[in-house]
Amino acid sequence: MFKEFTIENLEKSKERLEVELKKSRAAIKSLLKIQNKTYESFVKPYQEIAENLNEFVTPLFHIDSVKNTKTTQKVQEEIIPLLSNYETELSQNEYIYTSLKTIHYNYNSSLNDIQKKVLENEIRDFKLGGCGLDNEKKKRLKKINLKLSQLSNTFSQNLLDATNAFEMVVEDFEDVKEIPQSDLALASFEEEGKTYYKFTLQMPSYLAYITYGSNRKLREHIYKAYTTRAKNNQKIIDQILTLKLERSNILGFENYAQYSLATKMAKSENEVITFLYELANKAKIKAKEEVAEVQKLALKDGIRSIKSFDMAYYSEKLKKEKYDIDQEYYRPYFEQNSVLDGFFNFLHKLFNIDFKLTQAAAWDEKVKVYDIYENNNVIARIYLDLEARKDKRGGAWMNNWHSHYINTNGEKQLPTAFIVCNFPPSNENTPSLLRHDDVVTLFHEMGHALHHLLSKVQEPFVSGIAGVAWDCVEFPSQFLEYFSYDKEVLKLFAKHYQTQEVLSDEAIQKIINAKNFQSSLALIRQVEFALFDFKLYQRLYKGKEVQALMDSIRDEISALKPPKYNKFQHSFSHIFAGGYSAGYYSYKWAEVLSADTFYLFLNSTVFNQELALRYKTTILERGGSADMNELYLEFAHKEPSVDSLLKIDDIIS
């Protein structure tokens, strides 16, 4: 039913991939020999060839992210050129391109809407891949694509290496006295009979000191290390920007931003810029008031000019003062296993699905694998790798492996996905105790996963998250986040891991009250990143110009400017090593849809299963089979409003 996750002969991945690519090329060559090409005889098996290759390749990239070693790094270096050449060769194949256009023209009246969507997407993507260009331009695109793949991988590896290279050892207990006991236990170690405390740039450890570290100099020390990581990525950034502009120009676009929008919901550069400034202008004044509030508190400690490395520390104190909320108090109530059990119960109530733990093989002993059931039938599998490790890349993400579809033999392929997070690790003495922010992250990534795993689409290229426009792919994840602040939902899993006492209504209400704490600052921060990303790809920036652009945006909209040494762009993986180039605005763009959707539940009840099942069948099950604006209108019977987002974040009333 499901393929087991195994990495056999990792050292020989290059040779094994060469065999798989040879098979794929031969299969495509056979398809092209078909005289009377139809959707059934050509397009369906063509999609299946791609799915079979993806099934082989995905684990090779995944293992490098979650079990990074010299071997996995070597494998990446070897397989990236092979895949880049294959993908470019495929995307520039005029015979496939012509075949798809002919099928679309000849059989348009007999194709259903989903089949038409597959063809329209593919024809568009082949054109964006270089079909129709002369051979010299195609050759140049092939070289550019290969180099960009290598540069993205190098960017990620540089960042991981820099993250792992830093350690801050603290000797004096006075400097760690405010740090929560669970974090302190993970940081402490004994040497020659003395206790020391080690902090790293791994997210749980970094957050522990920047939020609770009593020593201001040490806070700045670890902040500076974090915001100046991977300075060797500046040269990588310059090369990426140059090559992406050249590729865009070859394909007939003025800049990479235009190229990026060709596959997105937003229709023009001006639409994106206008949208972002509308958000910034509505949030900027309140964001400055939020900074002033923190500054007032810091003044009690004699700090007349608050800095970026002070914000988390004094914001936490202010949050506790305003809402009487102590994050450490909550963590015993968010033990990882308890959270998962209650979370799955919630998803059952909402979407009528069940999660059952399996003993399927995975890449680490702490990975949990669940089969998902609907009406007692297994429909999907999900792998959860939730705890931080030194060999795992930072952050949190969902990665799809298999897609839901019906193959050429009429058999149903079931979908699979991975969720990867970096939550506080468990050890022999302490379970993994989450912050509420971690709970929110889990809800977010599960939203992505369900968008992929609950698909009922029979064509793989538009099943699940495949074919979904990038600027609305965050919609289901952000929508599910909102439920992590609901009292009835939290009561399903917020239980003390030692006493099983359910978190009190009063304590839950404090979380809800604090939800929009510094929401304007958070929005401004996201808009700052989004404007930097989008403007960066509207023309060519090089060297110091990149930092100058970041500085100009901060001068224009930021409520608190970071120190000049802050080189955030060197670790901005989303746009230099991920899929968000000229697309980081997607987080806020999609959040308008998610806020608008959640308002429908606020106006009824959080466990409105009728509404949830309508969302499930209209949005989740249909994946990329139709444009999201069409699906949203069908679901909500109205256009989304930017004000919904601003209201739900308490930025406007």
3-state secondary structure of 373: strand
d(CA 653, CA 643): 9
- 445 counts as catalytic: yes
CB 651 within 8 A of CB 282: yes
d(CA 535, CA 545): 12
d(CA 365, CA 243): 41
Q: Nearest 5°: CA angle at 373, between 372 and 376?
A: 160
d(CA 163, CA 627): 39
Q: Which residues pair with 374 in a beta bridge?
A: 377
The DSSP annotation for 65-128 comes to HHS--HHHHHHHHHHHHHHHHHHHHHHT-HHHHHHHHHHHHHSGGGS-HHHHHHHHHHHHHHHH
What letter represents residue 412's amino acid? K
Q: What is the dihedral of CA 200, 154, 65, 211, to 10 degrees?
A: 30
Residues 6+ apart with CB under 8 A from 443: 343, 480, 481, 483, 484
d(CA 619, CA 613): 10
d(CA 323, CA 320): 5
d(CA 330, CA 313): 18
Q: Which residues pair with 397 in a beta bridge?
A: 420
Would you say how long the chain is, in residues? 653
3-state secondary structure of 383: strand
Nearest C-alpha neighbor of 453 from the set 385, 354, 584: 354
Q: What is the dihedral of CA 131, 134, 135, 139, to 10 degrees?
A: -70
Catalytic member of 445, 459, 474, 481? 445
Encoding tokens for residue 615?
């969302």
Q: What are phi and psi of 430, to 5 degrees?
A: -130, 130
CB 344 within 8 A of CB 365: no
d(CA 505, CA 489): 12
CB 384 within 8 A of CB 368: yes
Q: Is 110 exposed, middle or buried (0-12, 13-18, 19+ CB in 10 A)?
A: exposed
d(CA 10, CA 26): 24
Q: Is 245 exposed, middle or buried (0-12, 13-18, 19+ CB in 10 A)?
A: buried
Sort residue 414 into left (φ over 0), alpha (ψ -120 to 50) or beta. beta
Encoding tokens for residue 32?
């092209």
Q: Any idea which residues carry the catalytic annotation?
A: 445
